[in-house]
Structure 1
Amino acid sequence: MAAYPPSLSTVEPVVAPPSPSSSSSKSSAFNVFHRFASWRNSLGLPNPGTVENLQKEVKSTLLTNFFFDGARADLSKSLSVNPIFQVTHSFALGSQTVAPSYNFGAVFANNNVFLQGGVDHEGNVSGRLNQGWSANNVTKAQCQLSSQVGHSMLQLEHDYQGQDYTVNIKAMNPSPVDATGIYMASYLQSFTKNLALGVEMLHQRPQPEMTETAASYLAKYTNDDKNWIATAQLQPAGMMQATYWQKLSEKVDVAADLQVIAAPGRRDAIATLGAKYDLRMSTFRAQLDSTGKVSALLEQRFAPSFSFLVSGEIDHFKNAAKVGVGVMIESPSMTPEEMNMMQMPPTLPP
């Protein structure tokens, strides 16, 4: 009886044993990586924070992001506490630099999502989304829709915070068709418990035939007690910015900012000194810069839901002055009776 060859489907494939050289190379590479990771963990280096918040303490002390002139009013209503849902009506008029405006905004936030949107009296719409995938991964998106040409904007970015480093990638008005837009990437690494160094790359492509790439170098030094922080940023075209922040006491912070431009066609420098005083029911900020401007801002809180603001600036070189007044009123979502019930101690069962 003739013997037929077995079917191809029943033939077991012959697998060659792994090469000893490849296995040893993989194991050696894994051992090197494991030793390097163990060495980094033994150093106990802290996370340096994000590049966006490199000068966070200085910005919260100086008046750059808080000063206003004219009159303004912010009326807020909290519709929910958990999750947070709040709407705001903002009015501004009488400013010497900004036209009168009205803005309606809303905020929604929970443990993983932050949503903020607004629309002004001219129909311009803005929105912001922060999505937290984990404690170390956050995706952010910002957009602005305007009827004016060139004022619409879309920005996408992602933050990843490792044990001792932070990575951020960002794209502004990216176009998938011709790859135009502005693209940024930054990396900040802690080298010691006090010193962190980083680099930020900027790639601009306003048109398909035009490209420009530049690099900025960052440095941040924090003392052991974390009561003073010094930063430096070297930007392209001979621009440098250095900041210093110190906490003198629980209620007093001081900050200094120095910006130097040493470009071929321009040489300039601006120095700014500021202080912030946190009192029991008020916050006072004062600032002085090398251009002859003296500024101050007082935020007086008469109640947790009502604040009164007064700001002023004197420009000695230009012989000019600005004054601003404002109110901030927040209406809670609970009635006074419900708030009193929440503050009453619970009744024990008999």
Structure 2
Amino acid sequence: MGNVFASGPSPPIQGSQSFTQFLPQDGGDSTTSPPKSPPDNQQSATPSNNPGSMENLHRKCKDIFPMPFDGAKVVVNKMLSNHFQISHNIVMGSGITPPGYRFGATYIGTREIATSEAYPIFSGEIDPTGNLNSRIIHLVGDRLKVQVGTQIQNSKCIASQFTSDYIGNDFTASLVFGNLDPINTSGVAVASYLQNVTNNLSLGAELVCHYQSPAVNSVLSVAGRYTSPNDFVVSGTVNNSSVQFCYYQRKNENLQVGVQVETNLTEPDSTASFGYQVDLPKSNFVFRGFVDTNWNVGGVFEKKLLPLPFTLLFSGLINHVKSQTRVGLGLYPNVS
């Protein structure tokens, strides 16, 4: 699932594999977002047999694919206390993220669930023109996780989202409302359910409804994931307009590989991608690379500059058919 930045009415539905959060997510360009957490079924606040959410069904595979960027990015974080941090983000390039300076702040509350997990979380990022991204995450009781996010540009709220996840012992039920507009009577609603059938097999369904008065369009998707004891994961999502298949395997302690196949049944069109991640902990080095059937080849090199608290990133992406090349250089704070 990629990121969608809505800039008007909610986009048409294309099924589960294309529907995602309307706001920047953890691990994206928004540097004030809380650090990327472990997969849902590995969080200490989550029962060990919980399958996670439908949104993260393919996460194991997708996490090893790089996110190439162009231009230059510099991020500096400053911890003001155990619960509050600020960040300065400078972007120079022509990618998805607008170039310029952004100031961010994150507050993490005092309700500590585990050593690296506490609530509530308030995060936001603003640029000199007043454009704002913000998000609130809170755990209500022991089972219900709630997120509220907004994106404001030119003094207008162009994207909003409310997400609730109920975390059961062996299931997760989620409800999402995005870009609700009572005046123009439009918006998107998503209901999903993922159940652990066995210790290795999870099955679920997701219903996406897009309302644009007077029409209502909906797409029902079914999905499954098999996690093998031999360190490989197979997952898939199917609906009447698209099919998505992912395969992930950890070959050894230094190498992980993944394959994604996405097919649009209405075009028809299909794209296959192969990705890999190489970890060399003793050298503080990580490399992620990919190649796909659209003749794209890309990679991101990450090197921790110890004892400095920064990570140096080199990014490259080339399309051999269109003769397009993107090169990026980044400096980010180390993530423990």
TM-score surpassing 0.5?
yes
| Cα shift at 1:213 | 1.7
Q: 1:187 to 1:97 in 2, by over 3 A?
A: closer
TM-score, scaled relative to structure 2: 0.77
Larger radius of gyration: 1
Unaligned runs of 5+ in 2: 1-46, 110-117
- Distance of 2:96 and 2:126 partners within structure 1: 20
User: Secondary structure of 1:52's partner?
Assistant: helix
Report if aligned partners of 1:45, 1:192 keep a CA contact under 8 Å in 2: no
- Distance of 1:195 and 1:96 partners within structure 2: 39
- Distance of 1:73 and 1:187 partners within structure 2: 39
1:194 aligns with 2:200: yes
TM-score, scaled relative to structure 1: 0.74
1:134 aligns with 2:131: no
| Cα shift at 1:69 | 0.7
- Distance of 1:329 and 1:273 partners within structure 2: 28
Q: 1:96 to 1:185 in 2, by over 3 A?
A: closer
Q: 1:240 to 1:223 in 2, by over 3 A?
A: same
| Cα shift at 1:174 | 2.5
- Distance of 1:186 and 1:156 partners within structure 2: 14
Match of 1:8 in 2: none
Could you give the per-residue CA deviations for residues 8-32 of structure 1, whole angstroms, max 9, x where no partner exists? xxxxxxxxxxxxxxxxxxxxxxxxx
Q: How many residues align?
A: 278
Q: Which moved more, 1:280-289 or 1:170-179?
A: 170-179
Report if aligned partners of 1:45, 1:191 keep a CA contact under 8 Å in 2: no
Could you give the per-residue CA deviations for residues 250-280 of structure 1, whole angstroms, max 9, x where no partner exists? 22211111001121xx111111101111212
Could you give the per-residue CA deviations for residues 283-313 of structure 1, whole angstroms, max 9, x where no partner exists? 1111111111111111111125111111111
User: Secondary structure of 2:164's partner?
Assistant: strand
Q: 1:173 to 1:95 in 2, by over 3 A?
A: closer
User: Secondary structure of 2:61's partner?
Assistant: helix
- Distance of 1:196 and 1:105 partners within structure 2: 38
Report if aligned partners of 1:108, 1:116 keep a CA contact under 8 Å in 2: yes
| Cα shift at 1:243 | 0.5
Match of 1:277 in 2: 278
Q: 1:174 to 1:97 in 2, by over 3 A?
A: closer
1:217 alignment partner AA: V
Match of 1:80 in 2: 81
Match of 2:112 in 1: none
Q: 1:55 aligns with which of 49, 53, 58?
A: 58
Identity of aligned residues (%): 28
| Cα shift at 1:173 | 2.3
Q: Which moved more, 1:117-126 or 1:283-292?
A: 117-126
- Distance of 2:96 and 2:131 partners within structure 1: 19
2:141 alignment partner AA: S
Unaligned runs of 5+ in 1: 1-43, 331-350
| Cα shift at 1:122 | 2.9
Query: Which one has more relative contact order, counting CA pairs under 8 Å at least 6 apart?
Result: 2
RMSD: 2.2
2:160 alignment partner AA: L
1:290 aligns with 2:289: no
Match of 1:235 in 2: 239
| Cα shift at 1:114 | 1.2
More helix by share: 1
Q: 2:150 aligns with which of 132, 143, 158?
A: 143
Aligned positions of 1:282-321 closer than 5 A: 282-303=285-306, 305-321=309-325
1:325 aligns with 2:332: no
